[in-house]
Amino acid sequence: MSGQGFHVHGPHDHAVEHAAHGNDGFSNNIAVMTAILATVGAAFGYLGGATQNDAALFKNNAAIDKTQAANSWNYYQAKSAKQNLAELAMTLPGVDPKRYEAEVARYKKEKEDIKKDAEKWEESSKEWNHKSDEAMHQHHQWALATTAEQIAISLAAITLLTRKKWMMGLAYGVAGVGIILGALAWFGAH
**Is pTM, for the whole model, over 0.75?**
no
CA angle 140, 155, 174 (to 5 degrees): 45
Give 114-125 pLDDT, tens digit per residue.
999 999 999 999
Which SS3 state, helix, strand or coil, does residue 11 take?
Answer: coil
* Residue 88: how many other CB atoms lie within 10 Å: 11
CB of 135 within 8 A of CB of 55?
yes
CA 31/CA 39 separation, integer angstroms? 12
DSSP bridge pairs for 70: none
CA 150/CA 166 separation, integer angstroms? 18
**Domain assignments of the chain as residue spans, ordered by start:** 30-189
Burial of 139: CB neighbours in 10 Å, binned 0-12, 13-18, 19+: buried
Give 127-137 pLDDT, tens digit per residue.
999 999 999 99
CB of 110 within 8 A of CB of 79?
yes
Give 26-71 pLDDT, tens digit per residue.
888 899 999 999 999 999 999 999 999 999 999 999 999 999 999 9
**C-alpha pair distances (Å), 51 with each of 48, 61, 77, 90, 141:** 5, 15, 39, 58, 10
Give 146-169 pLDDT, tens digit per residue.
999 999 999 999 999 999 999 999
Using the 8-state DSSP alphabet, how is residue 92 labeled?
S
